[in-house]
Amino acid sequence: MYLHVGEEVLVRTRDIIAILDVDSTSTSPFMEEFIAHQEQQVVHLAKGTVKSIVVTGNHIYYSPLASGTLKKRSQKLSVQEF
């Protein structure tokens, strides 16, 4: 199954490691350090306000969609991948 994370980008749900609220990550020095070390793999999808961060094995997506919205979308039933 795929999850739309913003700006017409789909991410395979099995590749998602974490969906984080941007406010909680900005207060964590560990997350700031993690993102700083992965700067080449950051993909900015938000043209305006960033509301969440989606971490996969290959990329870190800055999404304009709220983390709660992404969680609900990821839990919806859809056609299974084979």
Q: Where are the domains of the chain?
A: 2-74
**Rounded mean pLDDT for each run of 10 residues along the chain, 82 residues in total:** 93 94 89 88 92 95 95 73 48
pLDDT for 26 equals 82
DSSP of 10-65, one letter per residue? EEEGGGEEEEEEHHHHHT-HHHHHHHHHTGGGEEE--SS---EEEEESS-EEEESS
pLDDT for 82 equals 45
**Whole-prediction pTM:** 0.85
pLDDT for 76 equals 77
